[in-house]
Amino acid sequence: MRPEHKNVPALPAGPHLDSDCRGAASVLARVGDKWSVFVIMMLGDGPKRFNEIKRMIGGISQRMLTLTLRGLERDGLVTRTVFPTIPPRVDYELTDLGRGLSAPVKALGTWAIEHQPEIQRARMKFDARNDNA
């Protein structure tokens, strides 16, 4: 067991970057994770079931969703509730900690959506300049 989990490496070793920053790195790694961000946003408005989340996100494999949810659970950001029914049902919900995080994450998401066009234009221009290939 214990193979993947999302590795949370914590920067190598350098005596650089004050330790707060280094510890924060592993947290940012989770937040920085594309899928984690999406899941947190999806869970923003109430608990959801596994396949429900999967459908909402769309491009994610069940493997990645499982791994992502496991990671978020590990970090105390979401709770996993199993209903021992047939067929089984599992609900995922943000914890208080998770809800706290969802605020800054949403801010980021909002920013991303708002400025997406500018960024895409910047990319086009940049690529155009360097694409003599």
Partner DNA sequence: CAGGATCCACACGGATACTG
Partner DNA sequence: CAGTATCCGTGTGGATCCTG
In angstroms, give the least distance from the CB of 10 to DNA.
12
Indicate which single residue of 90, 97, 112, 119 sits in contact with DNA (rule: CB under 7 A): 90
Strands of the chain, DSSP E? 48-49, 78-83, 89-94
Cα angle 92, 98, 104; round to 5: 130
Reading the block at residue 111, the tokens are: 């920013």
Residue 19: CB minimum distance to a second copy, A: 10
Given the complex with a second copy, which of 83 and 126 has the nearer CB atom? Answer: 126
According to the binding rule CB under 8 A, does residue 115 interact with a second copy? yes
Number of residues interacting with DNA: please give it, by CB under 7 A.
28
Question: Degrees (nearest 5) of the Cα angle 21, 22, 26?
Answer: 110
The number of CA neighbours under 13 Å toward the Cβ of 87 is: 4
CA atoms of 30 and 10, how far apart (whole Å): 11
Name the DSSP letter for residue 44. G
116 touching DNA, by CB under 7 A = no
Q: Which residues bind a second copy (CB under 8 A)?
A: 1-2, 8, 11-17, 20-34, 37-38, 55-59, 73-77, 97, 100-101, 104-105, 107-109, 111-113, 115-116, 118-123, 125-127, 130-131, 133
Q: Which residues bind DNA (CB under 7 A)?
A: 1, 4, 6-7, 12, 33-35, 49-52, 59-64, 66-67, 69-70, 80, 82, 87-90
